[in-house]
Amino acid sequence: MIERLGERNATAVSVLTAALRLGGQVDACQTAHARASAGLCLAATLAAMHPCPKAGGAAEIMALAKNWTAWARSSAPQAVVDALALLGDPQAAARGARAHGGGASFVARLLPAARFALHWLFGICGIGPPALRQSGLGWDAQLATLACALGHKTVVLAASANDNGLLHQEFVDFDVPEPLGWAAIPDEGAASGTNDMQRCLRPFQWAERDREAGLRAEARRHEQLRASLRSSAKFMLGPSEPCALRFGPNRSTSDAVGRFKACRVPRPRSPTSDAKACYAWCEGGMSQAYSAASLLQVRSIKATRGGGSRRHGSMALGRKRNANGV
């Protein structure tokens, strides 16, 4: 997505680079690799970072991540980006590394299990390494920013890392009522243009204003978004099986503020907030079978059972959030 942004709007890449506080690294990359664009160098700089230093239960694969970053920092930017994108095709990654003067590809030397582990580690941590956390633009926030800039209303993560060490498909929908969202832009290559990058650095600033205004303002917004989903028939399972979104402290509470308050989790989280009874399901869909299972209570039980993440070995817990921080 960063490379595509660079094809459409080089200034937008500069704005993003400055916001990430990576100007020095990108400049050094372009000095060492004169033919590399700013977008490619930014993508390679991000890919060369340790993806998730604090992933729970992943101690056994941290050496793998360190070896990856050492290789990536000394390789050509295109070889780094190709290697990460081609974890499932090591032969293609090796060909790309040789073509870009990167020598033997790091990925081509890995066993399948190690390639899977590296892919999982890059996907499991929504906040990212300390350098990104300090900028406020971790992996999940960058996903929203890039979707906004490119005019994408929906992003599909085809093989997203899950807490259980496996992969799942994740559908991230940013289609909210105007003026809360951003304009869609048809993908017509370099001529497509972008939305305002400065605005896209904080695409959901209205949510911050709602939080400052208090619980009732947040609850009203929540009801507005629910009404939009209903009116647009989003997430319909089929013509005869509409998905009626249900959300709140089980079926007993109809008050908007009560529904919202039940699932609002303050930060930092605490045992009290984790014990809240928060329910979400799709009426008429498979998730209705779990309509009596509280999302927060399940996470609390999982975190305390048997010592937490250590019980699950090297591919266990680590919090994966969507682009809205949920």
- Partnered with residue 245 across adjacent β-strands are 282
pLDDT recorded at residue 102: 53
pLDDT recorded at residue 19: 95
3-class secondary structure, 154: strand
Which pTM does this prediction carry?
Answer: 0.77
Going by C-alpha positions, the residue among 147, 123, 135, 159 that lies closest to residue 51 is: 123
Q: Identify the residue with better confidence: 58 or 225.
A: 225
Judged against a pLDDT cut of 70, whether residue 202 lies above it is answered with yes
- Note the pLDDT tens digit of each residue in 30-66: 999 999 999 999 999 999 988 777 776 566 788 888 8
**Final residue before a domain boundary, out of 125, 160, 185:** 125
Q: Identify the residue with better confidence: 100 or 15.
A: 15
172 within some domain: no
Mean pLDDT of 107-127: 83
312 within some domain: no
- Note the pLDDT tens digit of each residue in 62-82: 888 888 999 999 888 998 898
Judged against a pLDDT cut of 60, whether residue 323 lies above it is answered with no
221 shares a domain with 109 = no
Judged against a pLDDT cut of 80, whether residue 90 lies above it is answered with no
When pLDDT is cut at 50, 70 and 90, the band that residue 317 belongs to is very low
pLDDT recorded at residue 247: 63
113 shares a domain with 208 = no
168 within some domain: no
Task: Give yes or no for a contact between 119 and 161, defined as CB atoms under 8 angstroms apart.
Answer: yes
208 shares a domain with 100 = no
| Spatial distance between the Cα atoms of 198 and 203, rounded to a whole number of angstroms | 9
Judged against a pLDDT cut of 70, whether residue 236 lies above it is answered with no
Going by C-alpha positions, the residue among 326, 300, 324, 318 that lies closest to residue 122 is: 318
The number of folded domains in the chain is 2
Judged against a pLDDT cut of 80, whether residue 164 lies above it is answered with no
34 within some domain: yes
Percentage of the chain lying above the pLDDT 70 cut: 71
| Spatial distance between the Cα atoms of 42 and 49, rounded to a whole number of angstroms | 11
Mean pLDDT of 120-142: 84
33 within some domain: yes
pLDDT recorded at residue 133: 79
pLDDT recorded at residue 182: 93
- Note the pLDDT tens digit of each residue in 297-315: 655 544 444 443 333 332 2
Q: Identify the residue with better confidence: 319 or 82.
A: 82
Q: Identify the residue with better confidence: 289 or 249.
A: 289
75 within some domain: yes
Judged against a pLDDT cut of 70, whether residue 244 lies above it is answered with no
Q: Identify the residue with better confidence: 274 or 127.
A: 127
**Final residue before a domain boundary, out of 125, 150, 167:** 125
Q: Identify the residue with better confidence: 115 or 319.
A: 115
280 within some domain: yes
Ranges 158-167, 244-253, 311-320: which has the least confidence: 311-320
Q: Show the domain range for 239.
A: 204-293
pLDDT recorded at residue 277: 67
**Final residue before a domain boundary, out of 71, 90, 125:** 125
Q: Identify the residue with better confidence: 177 or 7.
A: 7
208 shares a domain with 109 = no
281 within some domain: yes
